[in-house]
C-alpha cells in the first residue's frame, strides 16, 4: 500500500482530499505538527522518508514550499491548489521537486488518473529491479522464462480466480462491486461468497507478485469494490486476452 503524507497548517482543510485518497486505498497521514517541526529546525525529518509522496497543502506558501522542496533529491512532492496553476508556475515548481499538482476539491476519477502514472512507473522500476537481482540467485532461469505477454498457464490460476480476472478485465479501467463479482456463484450465502472472493483476490495478488514482481495486481477501492492494476491489465491484453483485445476496447 502506498503511503502519503499531507503537510498542512490546518487539518480540517484537508479532510475531503484525505477521504478521496483513502477511497483509492492509499494510507494517508495529515499532520500539522510535522510541518511545525520542520518550520522550527528547517530540516527534513527522517520519518518523512517512510512515505512515497508528500502533499503540500495550499495553506503553505510558495516560499515555504520552495525552501522545503529544495531539501529533497527526488520528485516526491505534490502541490495542493485551489485552482489550476499557470504552466509557468507548475514548471517553476519542478525545480523544488514538485512533480505534479492536485486540486483540493478534485473528483475521485481525476485523482486516480493523476496518480496512476506515477504508480505505474514505480511498479515497472520495481519489477525490472527484481528481475535483475534474480539473475544472480538460484531462480534466474525461472525469471528469464517469465516474459510478457502474460498467460494464465504461466501462473496456474484456479477456475474461480480466472473467472474473477475475466470479469475485472471486462470492466476495463472501472471497478466492480464485490456483489457483482460474486454474481452467479453457487453458494446462496452472501457472506460466504464475499469471504471466498476476498480469499481468491489475496491468492491472485500473491501468485502475480511471486511470478512477476507486480505488487497489488488487484486494487481494493473502499466503498467501490475491486479493480485490476493497470500494468497487470496491459500485460494480460498482450497475452491471454490478446484475441479479445479489440472487443475489450470497443
**Angle at CA 55, nearest 5°, toward 76 and 96?**
50
Q: What is the pLDDT of residues 145-164, one digit of tens each?
A: 343 667 777 678 899 999 99
The answer to whether 3-106 and 140-248 have equal CATH topology is no
pLDDT category at 210 given cuts 50, 70, 90 is: confident
Q: Cell 464475499 appears where?
A: 194
**CATH 3.40.50.2300 assigned to 3-106:** yes
Mean pLDDT of 208-219: 80
Q: Please report the pLDDT score of residue 161 as a whole number.
A: 92
Q: Which residues pair with 5 in a beta bridge?
A: 29, 54
The set of residues, in sequence order, having a beta carbon less than 8 Å from that of 176 and lying 6+ positions away, is 167, 168, 225, 226, 227
pLDDT at 6 over 50: yes
| Mean pLDDT estimate for the chain | 78
Is 127's pLDDT higher than 50? no
Structure pTM?
A: 0.49
Task: Inform me whether the pLDDT recorded for 28 exceeds 80.
Answer: yes
- Going along 23-119, which residue ranges are E strands? 27-31, 53-56, 77-81, 98-103
CA 105 from chain center: how many Å?
Answer: 20
Domain range annotation of the chain: 3-106, 140-248
Residue 228: phi and psi, rounded to 5, are: -70, 140
Q: Is the pLDDT of residue 143 over 70?
A: no
What CATH number was assigned to the domain covering residues 140-248?
1.10.10.10
Binned at pLDDT 50, 70 and 90, residue 46 comes out as confident
| Element at 6 (helix H, strand E) | strand 3-7
Whether residue 215 contacts residue 126, with contact meaning beta carbons closer than 8 Å, is answered with yes
91 contacts: CB under 8 Å, gap ≥ 6: none
pLDDT reported for residue 148: 61
In the predicted model, is pLDDT for residue 200 greater than 50?
yes
Amino acid at each position: 500500500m502506498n503511503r502519503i503524507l499531507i503537510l498542512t497548517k490546518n487539518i480540517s482543510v484537508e479532510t475531503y482530499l484525505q477521504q478521496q485518497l483513502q477511497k483509492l486505498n492509499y494510507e494517508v497521514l495529515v499532520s500539522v505538527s510535522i510541518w511545525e517541526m520542520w518550520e522550527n529546525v528547517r530540516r527534513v525529518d527522517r520519518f518523512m522518508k517512510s512515505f512515497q509522496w508528500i502533499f503540500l497543502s495550499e495553506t503553505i506558501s510558495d516560499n515555504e514550499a520552495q525552501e522545503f522542496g529544495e531539501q529533497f533529491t527526488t520528485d516526491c512532492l505534490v502541490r495542493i491548489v485551489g485552482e489550476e496553476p499557470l504552466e509557468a508556475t507548475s514548471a517553476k515548481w519542478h525545480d523544488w521537486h514538485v512533480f505534479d499538482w492536485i486540486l483540493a476539491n478534485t473528483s475521485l476519477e481525476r485523482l486516480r488518473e493523476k496518480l496512476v502514472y506515477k504508480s505505474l512507473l514505480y511498479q515497472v522500476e520495481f519489477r525490472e529491479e527484481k528481475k535483475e537481482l534474480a539473475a544472480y540467485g538460484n531462480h534466474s532461469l525461472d525469471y528469464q522464462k517469465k516474459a510478457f505477454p502474460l498467460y494464465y498457464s504461466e501462473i496456474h490460476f484456479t477456475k474461480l480466480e480466472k473467472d474473477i480476472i475475466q470479469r475485472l478485465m471486462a470492466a476495463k479501467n472501472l471497478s466492480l462491486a464485490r456483489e457483482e463479482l460474486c454474481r452467479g456463484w453457487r453458494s446462496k450465502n452472501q457472506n460466504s461468497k464475499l469471504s471466498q472472493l476476498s480469499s481468491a483476490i489475496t491468492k491472485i495478488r500473491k501468485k502475480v507478485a511471486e511470478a512477476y514482481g507486480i505488487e497489488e495486481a488487484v486494487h481494493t477501492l473502499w466503498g467501490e469494490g475491486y479493480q485490476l492494476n493497470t500494468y497487470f491489465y496491459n500485460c494480460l491484453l498482450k497475452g491471454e486476452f490478446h484475441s479479445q483485445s479489440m472487443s475489450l476496447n470497443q
